[in-house]
Amino acid sequence: MNFRLPEINDLLEHYSSLDEVGNCFSERTLVHSWNRLEVHYAPFNHQKRDSKLILLGITPGKSQTINAWKNAVSLFKEGKDAESCIRWAKKNARFAGGMRANLVNMLDAIGVPEKLGAHSMSNLFDNDSELLYSGSIVRYPVLKDGENYSGSSPKLHKDAMLCQMFQEWTLPVLNELPNSLIAPLGKSVQELLIQEGFENRMLVGFPHPSPGNGHRNKQFQSNRDSMIETVNEWNP
């Protein structure tokens, strides 16, 4: 099944005509719906990067999506083309705040930046390094009953439609970057990647970096040694 995406220019024109970015989850943005799930288009189109480290979440969240649209529309109003708007939106929708701090601390602690020729992961984040790719198993936002989909009920790796979206949108990216190391952000992402045969290319046991993840430190310490071994064996 090929999923038909709305035209980005049409959506940018529409949102630009409003006083402020309105409903980002409507019939205009709907890509597909089934059972209690919906997938909506947002400006997260793939842009080729020569990346060595891939940070992979489940799906963009609602607040991330709204911010991405606001940033894209702001640039569109300045006369920029859609490709520039997408690039700007993705750059400004990357991990920030406590989540970024936790990612930096964990990746630094297992030796990832040294492999990439950096002192700390913070340098790569701050400079929007080509070595770093941030994405999602499902590239575009998934809602369940109108709220953020968390990867369960249904389980990410057991839902045929979500797996198909991964295979259509994200799998080609991973195959384009065969020497990249994948940091799966959470158990749901890890389960799907193992199912798809990526176990030897990823940091198994890497915790979700959310400040709200109360098991993060315990999980990280439990898997730290094995992740260090994976990083040592990695040849970017």
What residue segments make up the domains of the chain, in order of their start?
8-233
Contact in structure between 175 and 10 (CB atoms under 8 Å): no
pLDDT score recorded for residue 46: 76
Q: What is the topology classification, in CATH, of domain 8-233?
A: Uracil-DNA Glycosylase, subunit E (3.40.470)
Instruction: Tell me the β-bridge partners of 135.
Output: 56
Q: Of 40, 53, 195, give the one whose Cα is nearest residue 113.
A: 53
pLDDT digits (tens, 9 = 90+) for 79-106: 999 999 998 998 887 777 788 999 999 9
pLDDT score recorded for residue 11: 95
pLDDT score recorded for residue 198: 96
- pLDDT at 35 > cutoff 80: yes
Give the three-state DSSP class for 12.
helix
Q: Of 56, 72, 58, 57, give the one whose Cα is nearest residue 24.
A: 72
Contact in structure between 168 and 187 (CB atoms under 8 Å): no
CA 59 to chain centre: 6
Q: What is the mean pLDDT of residues 202-217?
A: 94
Contact in structure between 43 and 68 (CB atoms under 8 Å): yes
Q: What is the mean pLDDT of residues 7-25?
A: 90
What are the residues whose beta carbons fall under 8 Å from the beta carbon of 11, sequence distance 6 or more?
Answer: 28, 29, 41
pLDDT score recorded for residue 10: 94
Contact in structure between 223 and 205 (CB atoms under 8 Å): yes
Contact in structure between 134 and 49 (CB atoms under 8 Å): no
N- to C-terminal Cα distance for the chain? 34
DSSP track, 171-190? HHHHHH-TT-EEEE-SHHHH
pLDDT score recorded for residue 231: 97
Q: What is the mean pLDDT of residues 150-172?
A: 96
- pLDDT at 22 > cutoff 80: no
pLDDT score recorded for residue 48: 76
Mean pLDDT of the chain: 93
Distance, in Å, from the CA atom of 87 to the CA atom of 44, rounded to the nearest integer, reads: 8
Largest interatomic CA distance in the chain: 53
Query: How would residue 171 be classed by pLDDT, with cut points 50, 70 and 90?
Result: very high
- pLDDT at 127 > cutoff 90: no
Q: Are strands 142-144 and 147-148 parallel, antiparallel or unpaired?
A: antiparallel
Distance, in Å, from the CA atom of 35 to the CA atom of 173, rounded to the nearest integer, reads: 28
pLDDT digits (tens, 9 = 90+) for 43-78: 998 777 789 999 999 999 998 999 999 999 999 999
Distance, in Å, from the CA atom of 21 to the CA atom of 85, rounded to the nearest integer, reads: 14
